Amino acid sequence: MSHSHTLRIKPLGLALLTGTLTGIIVAYFRLALSQINHLLQSLLVQSSQHFFQGLLFLGLLLILGVFAGYCLKAESNISGSGIPQVSGQLQGQLQQNWWRVLIYKFLGGLATIGSGLTLGREGPSVQIGASIGQGMAQLSRSKEEVSNYLIAGAAGAGMAAAFNAPLSGLFFVIEELLHQSNRRLFVYTGITIASSSLTAKYILGNQVSIPIPVFNPDNFPNLIQCLLLGILVAFSGLLFNQGILSLKNIFSNWQAPLYLKTALPFLVTGLFLLYDPQLFGSGANLIQLPFESSLTLPNLSYLYLVKLVLLLLAFCSGIPGGIFFPLLALGSLVGQIYGLTLAQLGLASADLIPYFSIIAMACHFAAIVRAPLTGMVLIMEMTGASLPWLLPMMIACYTADLVSEFLGNQPIYESLLEIILQNKYKPTN
DSSP secondary structure of 53-73: HHHHHHHHHHHHHHHHHHHHH
In 3-state terms the chain splits into helix, strand, coil percentages (rounded to 5) of 75, 0, 20
What number of other Cβ atoms are within 10 A of residue 2's Cβ?
Answer: 5
Q: List pLDDT tens digits, range 189-226.
A: 999 999 999 999 999 998 888 888 766 666 778 999 99
Tell how far CA 291 is from the center of its chain: 23
Q: List pLDDT tens digits, range 7-57.
A: 788 899 999 999 999 999 999 999 999 999 999 999 999 887 788 888 999
Q: List pLDDT tens digits, range 369-401.
A: 999 999 999 999 998 877 677 889 999 999 999
Distance CA 426, CA 429 (A): 10
Torsion of the alpha carbons at 16, 19, 23 and 25, rounded to the nearest 10: 110
Q: No. of H helices and E strands in the chain? A: 18, 0
